[in-house]
Amino acid sequence: MIGPVPVGGGAPVSAQSMTCTDTRDPGSTLEQIRALEKAGCEIVRCAVPDETAASALREICRASPLPVVADVHFDHRLALLALSAGAAGLRINPGNIGADWKVREVVAACRERETPIRIGVNAGSLRREDAAAHGGVNSRSLAESALREADLIEKSGYGKIKISAKAFDLETAIGAYRLLAEKTDYPLHLGITEAGPLVPGLIRSAAGIGALLLEGIGDTIRFSLTADPVEEARAARELLQAVGARSFGPVIVSCPTCGRTRIDLIGLVGEVERALASLPDPARYAGVKIAVMGCAVNGPGEARQARIGVAGGDGEGVIFREGEVIRKVPFARIVPALLEELGKLGD
């Protein structure tokens, strides 16, 4: 349990992100956490670079609507301070925490509070001896390093462990997670590290994380983007819904437009998105496919798998249900009419 969020053991795959504010500023950090919650984030991680940040974590943890995981590197004392501040989870890379006795001290504090530990191994901070033992930075060295660190924690008498083994290279990351899935039952946190700017990072992360989720591997995910972390949370939810791991609300199916399109389809899709986002109970329509098509001739047929949809033409649109046209409406009435028909589903 990361706060109230179950991880592993058949629990739903959870969406994570990380604040990019200065943790030493609780006000701005909490503001970003609230924005992340609104975007669908379920677990949030905050960097703890120094004692001031660790102290500020107390106020953040107390007021945060999401469970807070403290991200600690190099100084095990910061991990101890974060735990005393109320962190719901701890992310460490034991390889850079230092001597084994320091790791054992952190583990003892976690055990006392029953606070889960994520072992975060990545290609950029792999111990030199681990890389040398397995022929460099590769899938095996990442996986074996993570397992060795897990063994150290186990021998310290604690088992509430989550593991990640991230890399920028997709083949390396996917291979590492496959090895971990074969060798351990600990929950796995998926991510492609330092994935890049918004669009390239979204594509790279979705390719890597999505491939693993479709194989049944992974218990929590994070998109690591050089962008507003709210975009990470949105992307995580969309990916979980796309691979069938979670269902949060209705799903829009829309065509890419072509020369037959006689309406502002991009604008219409945006209007439908905003309308669906304002639904008072989106979970009622979880998984319902809603088609928004640009051609009244082919739209209903192309989107036959959708429960309900609209297709636009010159000055008007048609509303269809499971491929069958049920009514025509003026173009200005398309979105209200769609919502009316959506409300009838399940009645």
Whether the per-residue pLDDT at 332 is higher than 70: the answer is yes
Cβ atoms 85, 54 nearer than 8 A: yes
Query: Which region among 144-148, 261-265, 289-293 has the lowest average model confidence (pLDDT)?
Result: 261-265
Helix (H) or strand (E) holding 290: strand 289-293
| Count of alpha carbons within 13 angstroms of residue 175, beta-carbon side | 14
How large is the average pLDDT for residues 33-49?
96
Q: How far is CA 16 from CA 43, 67, 76, 162, 304, in A?
A: 5, 10, 24, 14, 34
Of 242, 267, 293, the residue that ends a domain is 242
Span 316-327, pLDDT tens digits: 888 888 878 888
- Shared domain for 18 and 64, answered yes or no, is yes
CATH number, domain containing residue 288: 3.30.413.10
Cβ atoms 61, 86 nearer than 8 A: yes
- Shared domain for 140 and 287, answered yes or no, is no
How large is the average pLDDT for residues 109-124?
91
**129: buried, middle or exposed (CB in 10 Å: 19+, 13-18, 0-12)?**
exposed
- Shared domain for 199 and 324, answered yes or no, is no
What pLDDT was estimated at residue 297? 62
- Shared domain for 90 and 172, answered yes or no, is yes
Q: Residue 137 domain-assigned?
A: yes
Whether the per-residue pLDDT at 347 is higher than 60: the answer is no
Q: Residue 47 domain-assigned?
A: yes
- Shared domain for 217 and 277, answered yes or no, is no
Q: Residue 7 domain-assigned?
A: no
- Shared domain for 224 and 294, answered yes or no, is no
CATH number, domain containing residue 91: 3.20.20.20
Q: Is 218 left (phi over 0), alpha (psi -120 to 50) or beta?
A: left
What pLDDT was estimated at residue 257? 81
Q: How many domains does one find in the chain? A: 2
Whether the per-residue pLDDT at 46 is higher than 60: the answer is yes
Task: Note down the domain range covering 285.
Answer: 251-344
Strand 14-18 vs strand 43-47: parallel, antiparallel, or unpaired? parallel
Helix (H) or strand (E) holding 344: helix 334-344
- Shared domain for 217 and 262, answered yes or no, is no
Span 254-279, pLDDT tens digits: 888 877 777 888 998 999 999 998 88
Model confidence band, residue 126 (pLDDT cutoffs 50, 70, 90): confident
- Shared domain for 237 and 258, answered yes or no, is no
How far out from the chain centre does Cα 234 lie? 8
What pLDDT was estimated at residue 262? 76
Of 242, 272, 299, the residue that ends a domain is 242
Of 182, 217, 242, the residue that ends a domain is 242
Q: How far is CA 199 from CA 7, 202, 214, 223, 242, in A?
A: 28, 5, 22, 12, 17
Whether the per-residue pLDDT at 298 is higher than 70: the answer is no
Q: Residue 77 domain-assigned?
A: yes
How large is the average pLDDT for residues 42-49?
97
- Shared domain for 210 and 285, answered yes or no, is no
Question: DSSP 3-state assignment of 321?
Answer: strand
Whether the per-residue pLDDT at 302 is higher than 70: the answer is no
- Shared domain for 238 and 270, answered yes or no, is no
- Shared domain for 322 and 182, answered yes or no, is no
Q: Residue 24 domain-assigned?
A: yes
Q: How far is CA 64 from CA 30, 60, 170, 194, 199, in A?
A: 6, 6, 33, 26, 29
What pLDDT was estimated at residue 300? 64
What pLDDT was estimated at residue 58? 96
What pLDDT was estimated at residue 159? 92
Cβ atoms 211, 171 nearer than 8 A: no
To the nearest whole number, what is the mean pLDDT of the chain?
91
